[in-house]
Amino acid sequence: MKIGIDTSGGDFAPQEVITGVQLFLKNTTTPVQVVLIGNESEVSPFLSGFDANQIQVVHAPQTIGMHEHPTRALREKTKSSISIGFQLLAAGETDAFISAGNTGAMLVSALYSLKPVEGILRPSISALLPKENGSTGLLLDVGLNSDCKPEQLNQFAIMGSVYAKSILEIEAPRVALLNIGEEEGKGNLLAQATYDLLKTNKQIIFVGNAEGRDILRDKADIIICDGFTGNIILKFAESLFEIAGEKEIKHEYFDRFNFENYGGTPVLGLSKPVIIGHGISKNLAFKNMLALAQKMIETDVMQLMKNEVEA
């Protein structure tokens, strides 16, 4: 198993990336090799502590900045760590790719250099939200698909259920539709049409609508929405964590809003695992992203999604 990671991606690259790799390798018992993709001269000073079999360095002389225009940067910087990371993944040289670099460039590359799993209309990105009872909820889509069709949302429900079972180890994940009322028939046209598909979908456990007030409650394990709404909710939640920090409002519940703990966001429905990290990721986040990539490869979660959408 080979996991590619962008050592030039994120605000604290390469040091925090490499420390994360060390933490991960120290804790894993599976034979896994991490492919460090980035500027070789910046990476090499940190390599003394590694077992040579566990790592490989692939030189990528260019870096796409956090604020560069994704498509333009990808076109111009074919030797960037993100470009090379996806080249290796598409060629089968690696089995997964992780980066905390430019999110837009990651998403564009993922969609253009990899195929969606057969049968999947659109890949999706999800977020984990800390629920007030201590458990964790999955919200998707959180920004990859700003305009959605009901059939796409229905597939997000299937992909989310497979992910929740395989990766989050929730045996019977409950799915709710994000909506502005509890009863069937509520909501905008998209929500109304999606409700009809979800309630007859035998591959998921549909528990009805979830309102804004239910997102942090234990109404469901997976909440489905279009990527416009999901992205706004996610960034709103992140800002609350930031504001609580600035105002020195301390409570263990707010600590759980620290997205660092969750590692990164996998792109669901792609042929291979791609994990997008937050720009502010530190070593713990990178370690968690590597562990997530390993689990996604071991469970072959993408193949399971294919089986479900084709069932």
Q: Do the Cβ atoms of 90 and 269 come closer than 8 Å? A: no
Q: Which is nearer to its own copies, 109 or 231 (CB)?
A: 231
Q: Do the Cβ atoms of 310 and 182 come closer than 8 Å? A: no
Q: Which of 236, 298, 300, 310 binds its own copies (CB under 8 A)?
A: 236
x/- letters, 133..162, toward its own copies (CB under 8 A): ----------x--xx---------------
Q: How many residues bind its own copies (CB under 8 A)?
A: 39
Q: How far apart are CA 48 and CA 54, in angstroms?
A: 12
Q: Do the Cβ atoms of 100 and 281 come closer than 8 Å? A: yes
Interface segment toward its own copies; rule CB under 8 A; list 166-174, 214-222, 278-286, 298-306:
214-222
Q: Which of 108, 119, 184, 254 binds its own copies (CB under 8 A)?
A: 254
Task: Tell me: does residue 47 bind its own copies (CB under 8 A).
Answer: no
End-to-end CA distance of the chain: 29
Q: Do the Cβ atoms of 125 and 170 come closer than 8 Å? A: no
CA angle 162, 167, 90 (to 5 degrees): 80
Closest approach, Cβ 145 to its own copies, in A, equals 9
Interface segment toward its own copies; rule CB under 8 A; list 78-86, 105-113, 201-209, 245-253:
245-253
Task: Tell me: does residue 178 bind its own copies (CB under 8 A).
Answer: yes
Q: Which of 216, 284, 291, 304 binds its own copies (CB under 8 A)?
A: 216
Task: Tell me: does residue 211 bind its own copies (CB under 8 A).
Answer: yes
> Which has the closest alpha carbon to 177: 149, 231, 219?
219
Q: Which of 10, 20, 160, 187 binds its own copies (CB under 8 A)?
A: 187
Q: Exposed, middle or buried: residue 30 (CB in 10 Å: 0-12, 13-18, 19+)?
A: exposed
Interface segment toward its own copies; rule CB under 8 A; list 2-10, 52-60, 231-239, 294-302:
231-239
3-state SS, one letter per residue, for 147-189: CCCHHHHHHHHHHHHHHHHHCCCCCCCEEEEECCCCCCCCCCH
Binding residues (CB under 8 A) for its own copies: these are 132, 143, 146-147, 178, 180, 187-189, 191, 211-217, 226-229, 231-240, 242-243, 246-247, 249, 251, 253-254
